[in-house]
Every structure is written in structure tokens, then in C-alpha cells.
């Protein structure tokens, strides 16, 4: 039996998404650049099923995750779920690889031919006839202007191959240019208590009625409350975090201090630190949902409560103070929502 979770409208797409969704990056397993290390497919599928049974109704993936493997796993999991309970499937295009290209230098391609080929491959791996949300993974570097690749995405929506279209990792200027070509259904920026650069993008979404789903709300594990210097040392050799600046030296110390500042808030609400970190992103105007990475079924309980957790003004003030102390820049935390009720109470 599927449990109900609070939902929000994803812009004007007609989809009401649970406030938290499944991020499929880790399902790609090992053997490629940016891997999270080895991952058992059966455990991935069990994690997806547990999250869906708990009320999560969408999964975000991409072809580059495991060089197609994550999409295969998500497709297998979706086919095992009854049609009436099947989650929305979101994926992306624009980051490709081939045997002649080093894995640490994937191509960012925006040609019509490449995007259409990627779509057909994703449809096949996911085992569906229509993708619910198809997103540009990142701005192409092959010289194709946004007006051209966004027109391709608009055409795919018009043809019914995808239900909605979005842009990930794009600036406000690029979003304005895309909007001049055709409707933007959704935007996906990186956003968390450590990396808040997308505040302007989220404000753009709020002012244009565009659905925003943020990724990395727990900063790739830093804000879970379970990460430590010892955990860092024990990561798989091919785990990308071993060499990332956020996870080394003084930055790691600051980030773990931020986590310690979140613990009293988590204790007050009887939730995990991870739930507080995710709920903070959901408190920002314009955010419809947060993508949360998943590897095992038991991890779901750590962040699921974020979907219904409402941080009060004292909580937000304490978080703002802790973030200012831990931040390497002077950017202030984004402003919370002004409403005092759930964003879409009739959609539950």
C-alpha cells in the first residue's frame, strides 16, 4: 500500500509531485567518472520500491549516470510497480560519451540529431513511450545556441514524446532566452545550505510560475548528519568525493560544523539532520521538490520527513546564522517562503 506524502504542483505541467523525489545518480554503479562506487542493482530496485511505497512519486535520472545503467535500473524498477502506483520518470539529454572519448571528458552536445538519438535511447532503457520531464542536463559546449536546442525540446513536447521539458544548470539569462522560444516547464539547479548560488534562478522560477526541483539538497552527503572525516577516509577509491574541495581540508571542517549546528533543530522536531537540510531547500519560494540521492531502502527514513517538515522562523534564523559562520562566501541564505500553510494543500 502506497503512503501519501505532501505534494506541490510542478509549475504548469499538471503534475503534482511529492515534495521529495528519488535521485538515481548512485544507481549507475562503479566504473565511470563521477561514480559513487559499486552499487548492487537489486538493492537499488528495493530502495526505489520502498521510497515509492512511502509516497515518493517521481525519479530523476540521466543517461550519463553509469553510462546508461541508472536508466536501465530505473526502468526495471518501474516495470515491477503496478501501473497505478508508478512514479513519474524524469531524465535528461546533452551529456554523451563514446568509446573514443575519455570518460572524464564527456561531450556536451546540443544538436537536434544528438538530442533525438538520446531520447530514443532513454525511452528504450526506461521502457516507456513518453518521458514525463525531459531536461537539458547542462548548456552544450559545441556551439549550438540555446534557441536551437530549446526549440528541439519544444518540438519533442509538441510531438508528445515527452510530457514536459526543463533546463538544468542554466543561468537566468539563459532561461530568459529559452522562454522567448517556448514555454519552460521546469528548472533544475543545484541548491543546498552550502551552495546557494541558484537563489536568483529560484526567484526567476517563482516569478514565472515555473516548477523548480533542486538537486543535491544534502550536498552529496555532507549534510546528512552521518558524514565524518572517518567516513571520508573510508570512501571507495573511485568515489568522486575523495578529491572534491567540499570534502577536504578546511572546507570539510566548516561543513561538519554546520551539520553540528543543525542537530539541535533536528532534535527539537524529532527528525534527522538530513530532513532539516532538505526541508530548508523546500522552504524557499519557487521550489516544488527536492531530489534526494538514494542507495538503500533504509536511507529513505532519514529524509522522508522533510516532505512535511515546516521549519519555523526561529529555526530559519538559527540556520541562517550557522550557514553564515560556515560559508566560504558572503552570500546570504535565500529567503524562506512567506506562506504559513503547505504550498498546495488540496493536492495531497
Report the distance separating Cα 141 and Cα 108, nearest Å: 5
pTM confidence score: 0.87
For residue 8, give the 3-state DSSP assignment.
Answer: strand
Determine what percent of the chain is predicted with pLDDT higher than 70: 89
Q: Per-residue pLDDT for 257 more than 70?
A: yes
Residue 2: what pLDDT? Answer: 66
Backbone angles phi, psi at 163, to 5 degrees: -80, -40
Task: Give yes or no: 65 in active site.
Answer: yes
Q: Per-residue pLDDT for 250 more than 60?
A: yes
Q: Per-residue pLDDT for 261 more than 50?
A: yes
Q: Per-residue pLDDT for 155 more than 90?
A: yes
Residue 179 gets the label, from left (phi > 0), alpha (psi -120 to 50) or beta, of alpha
Q: What is the mean pLDDT of residues 190-199?
A: 93
Residue 224: what pLDDT? Answer: 80
Q: What is the mean pLDDT of residues 15-30?
A: 94
65, 88, 149, 215: which one is catalytic? 65
Residue 104: what pLDDT? Answer: 56
The residue among 96, 109, 91, 114 whose CA lies nearest residue 32 is 96
Residue 342: what pLDDT? Answer: 28
Report the distance separating Cα 170 and Cα 90, nearest Å: 17
Q: Cell numbers of 76, please?
A: 526495471
Q: How is the chain split into domains, by residue range? A: 16-240+272-310
Digit-coded pLDDT (tens) for 284-300: 999 999 999 888 999 89
Q: Cell numbers of 323, please?
A: 550557514
CATH code for the structural domain at 16-240+272-310: 3.20.20.100
Q: How many helices (H) and strands (E) are present in the chain, helices listed first?
A: 11, 12
Amino acid at each position: 500500500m502506497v503512503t501519501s506524502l505532501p505534494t506541490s504542483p510542478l509549475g504548469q505541467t499538471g503534475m503534482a509531485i511529492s515534495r521529495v523525489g528519488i535521485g538515481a545518480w548512485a544507481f549507475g554503479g562503479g566504473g565511470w567518472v563521477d561514480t559513487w562506487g559499486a552499487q548492487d542493482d537489486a538493492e537499488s530496485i528495493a530502495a526505489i520500491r520502498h521510497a515509492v511505497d512511502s509516497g515518493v512519486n517521481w525519479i530523476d535520472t540521466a543517461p550519463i549516470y553509469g553510462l546508461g545503467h541508472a536508466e536501465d535500473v530505473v526502468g526495471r524498477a518501474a516495470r515491477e510497480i503496478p501501473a497505478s502506483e508508478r512514479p513519474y520518470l524524469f531524465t535528461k539529454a546533452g551529456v554523451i560519451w563514446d568509446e573514443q572519448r575519455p570518460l572524464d571528458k564527456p561531450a556536451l552536445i546540443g544538436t537536434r540529431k544528438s538530442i533525438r538519438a538520446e531520447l530514443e535511447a532513454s525511452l528504450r532503457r526506461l521502457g516507456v513511450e513518453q518521458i514525463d520531464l525531459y531536461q537539458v542536463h547542462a548548456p552544450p559546449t559545441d556551439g549550438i545556441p540555446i534557441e536551437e536546442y530549446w526549440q528541439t525540446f519544444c518540438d519533442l513536447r509538441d510531438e508528445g514524446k515527452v510530457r514536459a521539458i526543463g533546463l538544468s544548470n542554466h543561468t537566468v539569462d539563459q532561461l530568459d532566452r529559452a522562454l522567448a522560444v517556448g514555454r519552460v516547464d521546469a528548472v533544475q539547479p543545484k541548491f543546498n545550505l552550502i551552495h546557494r548560488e541558484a537563489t536568483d534562478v529560484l526567484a526567476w522560477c517563482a516569478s514565472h510560475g515555473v516548477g523548480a526541483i533542486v538537486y543535491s539538497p544534502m550536498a552529496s552527503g555532507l549534510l546528512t548528519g552521518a558524514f565524518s572525516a572517518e567516513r571520508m577516509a573510508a570512501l571507495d577509491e573511485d568515489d568522486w568525493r575523495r578529491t572534491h574541495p567540499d570534502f577536504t581540508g578546511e572546507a570539510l571542517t566548516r561543513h561538519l560544523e554546520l551539520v553540528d549546528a543543525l542537530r539541535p533543530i533536528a532534535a527539537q522536531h524529532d527528525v534527522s539532520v538530513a530532513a532539516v537540510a532538505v526541508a530548508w531547500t523546500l522552504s524557499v519560494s519557487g521550489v516544488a521538490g527536492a531530489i534526494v540521492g538514494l542507495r538503500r531502502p533504509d536511507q529513505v527514513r532519514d529524509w522522508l520527513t522533510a516532505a512535511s517538515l515546516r521549519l519555523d522562523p526561529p529555526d530559519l534564523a538559527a540556520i541562517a546564522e550557522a550557514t553564515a559562520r560556515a560559508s566560504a562566501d558572503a552570500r546570504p541564505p535565500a529567503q524562506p517562503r512567506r506562506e504559513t500553510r503547505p504550498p498546495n494543500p488540496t493536492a495531497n
